């Protein structure tokens, strides 16, 4: 079971990495088009809106990718000073809090999407639900990754945020 969950974890990273990269490349192209069109031609009206939407998506998906790679900031001084037993308990509690927060953010994001479903973007005339869909998507991914972390911890493996620094406990 743990091997399957770790495979899912790796697949999520393998999918998110090129998506975030493509979003950054798209954002770079759109902003370049915006600058060139303003300087040399008539301004292209949709570029500002697309750049804003891409930035929103890149931010949330990039946060999920950073979560998957264990690169979010953590103040681990207290946890790391504890003996292994209490350290695992504190780590488990932190993971449970993270899961609760991400599930709440997912639910709130879905509700916000539904509230904004009638609204259309000014330039592109797309439903704002598509723009806001990234919040529950990314939060759901981070909740799932945290659940994998919890299973890893219960199985005696090192948690994600210290996995690259400390050996696993077997």
Model confidence over 27-58: pLDDT tens digits?
999 999 999 998 888 888 899 999 999 999 99
**How many domains does the structure of the chain reveal?**
1
**63 half-sphere exposure, CB direction, 13 A CA radius:** 16
- Residue 34 falls inside a structural domain: yes
- Residue 169 falls inside a structural domain: no
Q: The whole model's pTM is what?
A: 0.87
Asked if 147 contacts 68 with a C-beta cutoff of 8 angstroms, the reply is no
pLDDT-derived band at 161 (thresholds 50, 70, 90) equals low
Q: Can you give the pLDDT at residue 162?
A: 54
- Residue 142 falls inside a structural domain: yes
- Residue 108 lies in domain: 2-162
- Residue 139 falls inside a structural domain: yes
- Residue 63 falls inside a structural domain: yes
- Residue 168 falls inside a structural domain: no
- Residue 167 falls inside a structural domain: no
- Residue 151 falls inside a structural domain: yes
| Residue 86 to residue 102: CA distance in whole angstroms | 24
Query: Lowest-confidence range among 20-24, 69-73, 98-102, 139-143?
Result: 69-73
Q: Can you give the pLDDT at residue 15?
A: 96
């Amino acid at each position: 079971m743990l091997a399957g969950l770790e495979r899912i974890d790796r697949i999520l990273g393998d999918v998110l990495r090129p998506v975030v990269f493509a979003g950054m490349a798209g954002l770079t192209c759109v902003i370049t088009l915006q600058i060139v069109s303003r300087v040399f031609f008539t301004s292209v009206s949709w570029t500002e809106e697309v750049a804003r939407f891409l930035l929103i998506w890149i931010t949330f998906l990039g946060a999920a990718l950073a979560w998957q790679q264990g690169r979010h900031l953590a103040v681990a001084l207290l946890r790391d000073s504890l003996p292994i037993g209490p350290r695992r308990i504190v780590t488990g509690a932190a993971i449970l809090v993270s899961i609760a927060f991400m599930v709440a953010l997912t639910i709130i994001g879905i509700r916000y999407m539904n509230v904004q479903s009638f609204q259309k973007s000014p330039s592109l005339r797309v439903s704002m639900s598509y723009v806001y869909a990234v919040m529950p998507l990314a939060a759901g991914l981070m909740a799932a990754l945290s659940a994998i972390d919890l299973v890893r911890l219960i199985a005696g493996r090192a948690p994600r945020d210290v996995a690259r620094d400390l050996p696993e406990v077997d």
